[in-house]
Chain A
Amino acid sequence: MSNKLYAPIILLLVLAFLIGPFIIIIAASLSAGETLSFPPQGLSLRWVIKVFEVESFRASFGISMFLAIGGTIAALILGIPASYALSRYKVPGAETIRTIVSSPIIVPGIIVGLALLRYFVVPFNFGILFALFLAHTALILPYAVRVVSASLTNLRSDIEEAAVLLGCSRVGAFFRVVMPNIRGGILAAFILGFVTSFNQVPVSLFLSGPGVRTLPIDMLSYMEITYDPSVAALSALLAFMSLGIVFLAERFLGFSRYV
């Protein structure tokens, strides 16, 4: 076989590997059968409809949305000034700070979750929701700092001096000329953070408690009891939601430039 044939075959295999599970999930969710199976037994939308009827899914979806949106906003409130300071000033130990800020991505989620549970939730008696909120904020922070830092690096710093000479205060210059120019990066960080938080399992696993569960954890426990295709249907819906968000971001912001 020639090289010309190898390349497309390998490409197809890789694509199948990446997209395959997604297709299986969609197919399984459209099954008319009683259990999760592939290939689907007949076609129906009953499991998709079932998703919206399960009470605990609605509650955990709400919690997941709250964590994803609230955590991302909190991470940006912490991350934007941090990125600004790291890119504009000679901060002693800047590299160390960057590493520490990135550590939640590097350290396995299981360890982060266990540590938070053992040393924060238990001794300080934090509420579960508050602990989850803190954990998600910490997990999103590295993305916020990275993406916002990237757009700050591309922005010349002399425009701030120019703004000051035209009458702005230092703080005013940040809001008038820095923020509008890193808006794309901030939105990109928001989307990355949102998706990361929404799909988070290991950390949330440790911090879930009675009545407070994120959606992925709720799906896991649902599956332990019932093995019906509604979990597949929910997965497919979530995948489409993520795709939709990324598509819109790419369409309007050129998302891939910032990641």
Chain B
Amino acid sequence: MSDSRFLSLEKLTLSYGKNVAVPEMDLDIAKGELVALLGPSGCGKTTTMRAIAGLMEPASGAIVLDGANITRVPANKRPVGLVFQSYALFPHLNVYENVAFGLKLMGVKGKDLETRVNDGLKTVGLSQYATRKPAELSGGQQQRVSLARSMVMEPKVLLLDEPLSNLDARLRLEMRTELQRVQKESGVTMIFVTHDQVEALAMADRIIVMLDGHIEQIGTPEDIYNNPASDFVADFVGFENVFERVGDTIKTANGDVAISGDIDDATKGLAWRPSMVTLGEGPYEGTVRGTSFAGGTREYLLDTPLGQIKAECDAALPAHDFGAVLKFDLPVAKAAQLARTGSL
């Protein structure tokens, strides 16, 4: 076993009755990594996470953690922690007792117990709330308790289910850095599930994009953001103009349109972010069907012979009216070249 294969899923198949949610998934996660499982709802990311935790029994395949096959190890015997989306704090216990719950079951007692619980609370900055009940805490504080409760168990892998989804925008930013800090300081291998690409891009060392039960792409945030492998990933990370490519043409709603430029032979599709579309000059024309002001930029929705195009330009430039006809270009040099299409 090497550090790069700290946690391995080997041909892991997960199913609900006859419905296969995740077929034969292979995945390696390195020790100390912060990984995001990213995908839309129903893509199997939560199912995968529950299988790693032991809350769901795989139909076939194996889960190997730190050299040990844990596929059939029951959830309560796995060195895996899980922070639930709803935090799942025990309502009848106070903060201290919630954090102490697992340690007590492990047989930790007395001074040792006290030290470990207090250290856990200190890590998440909640020492002064030890005697509060969960109902008396804000969502963000409950999240921290839940995090501390899992962390004090010193799990080999810590899983987080949509850790930021129940928090308001300001807390979300705070919790993001908080989670990163706890992960880096403790060195725990952390996997979080999210449907929010911004969250995944901001926090993760590596992102696993899932769709319909399979892995669509694995890469660093930069990779995923700049070089999406498929039309689905491209669309997911903000390339809103996606076209299938055949030879020197792209397929559009109104037939094939010829393009020219340096395109890799293997490229199956081309995708442009709105900001990559040249506005005001170019071979194509479109009618403005919608505009929206987004602070530094202004976005346009154009009706064009290529179909609808989303474009964006500096907000300082004079605005174009509804119904105005604009020239534009899709510069091939800027486009993301997609290795696969057909998943959108």
**Chain A contacts to B: CB under 8 angstroms:** 155-156, 158-159, 161-169, 172, 176-177, 180-181
Known: A165-B82, A167-B105, A167-B106. A159 touches B76 (CB 8 A): no
In the bound complex, how far is the Cα of B86 from the Cα of A180, in angstroms? Answer: 20
Residue ID in chain B nearest A159 by CB atoms: B88
Q: In this assembly, does B92 line the interface, its C-beta being within 8 Å of a C-beta of chain A?
A: yes
The reply to whether A164 and B88 form a contact with Cβ atoms under 8 Å apart is no
Q: Which residues of B contact A159 (CB under 8 A)?
A: 88-91
Q: In this assembly, does B149 line the interface, its C-beta being within 8 Å of a C-beta of chain A?
A: yes
In order of increasing CB-CB distance, the 3 nearest A-B pairs are A166-B102, A162-B88, A167-B105
Q: In this assembly, does B53 line the interface, its C-beta being within 8 Å of a C-beta of chain A?
A: yes
Known: A167-B105, A168-B105. A161 touches B92 (CB 8 A): no
Instruction: Specify which of B80, B81, B101 is in contact with A163 (CB 8 Å cutoff).
Output: B101
Q: Which of A156, A159, A164, A166 has the most CB of B within 10 A?
A: A166
Q: For chain B residues 261-288, which have a beta carbon within 8 Å of chain A?
A: none
* Chain B: minimal CB distance from A59 (Å): 42
Q: Which of B55, B75, B86 has the most CB of A within 10 A?
A: B75
Instruction: Specify which of A161, A165, A169 is in contact with B80 (CB 8 Å cutoff).
Output: A165
In the bound complex, how far is the Cα of B76 from the Cα of A177, in angstroms? Answer: 15
Instruction: Specify which of A166, A180, A181 is in contact with B105 (CB 8 Å cutoff).
Output: A166
| Number of chain B residues whose Cβ lies closer than 8 Å to a Cβ of chain A | 24
Interface of A is mostly: helix
In the bound complex, how far is the Cα of B77 from the Cα of A172, in angstroms? Answer: 14
Q: In this assembly, does B129 line the interface, its C-beta being within 8 Å of a C-beta of chain A?
A: no
Q: In this assembly, does B210 line the interface, its C-beta being within 8 Å of a C-beta of chain A?
A: no
The reply to whether B84 and A161 form a contact with Cβ atoms under 8 Å apart is yes
C-beta contact mask, B74-104 vs A, less than 8 Å → 1, else 0? 0111101110101011111000000001100
Apart from A159-B89, A166-B149, A166-B150: 15 A-B pairs, beta carbons within 8 A: A155-B91, A159-B90, A159-B91, A162-B89, A162-B149, A163-B90, A165-B53, A165-B75, A165-B81, A165-B150, A167-B76, A167-B77, A169-B76, A177-B90, A177-B92
A-B pairs under 8 A by CB, number: 60
**Chain B contacts to A: CB under 8 angstroms:** 53-55, 75-78, 80-82, 84, 86, 88-92, 101-102, 105-106, 149-150, 153
Instruction: Specify which of B78, B80, B84, B106 is in contact with A162 (CB 8 Å cutoff).
Output: B84
The reply to whether A181 and B91 form a contact with Cβ atoms under 8 Å apart is yes
Instruction: Specify which of B76, B88, B150 is in contact with A158 (CB 8 Å cutoff).
Output: B88
The reply to whether A156 and B76 form a contact with Cβ atoms under 8 Å apart is no
The reply to whether B102 and A158 form a contact with Cβ atoms under 8 Å apart is no
In the bound complex, how far is the Cα of B98 from the Cα of A181, in angstroms? Answer: 14
Known: A163-B101, A167-B106. A156 touches B92 (CB 8 A): no
Q: Which residues of A contact B102 (CB under 8 A)?
A: 166-167
* Chain B: minimal CB distance from A84 (Å): 17
In the bound complex, how far is the Cα of B55 from the Cα of A167, in angstroms? Answer: 13
* Chain B: minimal CB distance from A179 (Å): 9
In the bound complex, how far is the Cα of B83 from the Cα of A161, in angstroms? Answer: 11
Q: Which residues of A contact B149 (CB under 8 A)?
A: 162, 166
Q: Which residues of A contact B86 (CB under 8 A)?
A: 156, 158
Instruction: Specify which of B76, B84, B88, B92 is in contact with A181 (CB 8 Å cutoff).
Output: B92
A-B contact pairs, 17 of them (CB 8 A): A158-B86, A159-B90, A161-B55, A161-B82, A161-B88, A162-B149, A164-B55, A164-B76, A165-B54, A165-B76, A167-B77, A167-B102, A176-B101, A177-B90, A180-B92, A181-B90, A181-B92
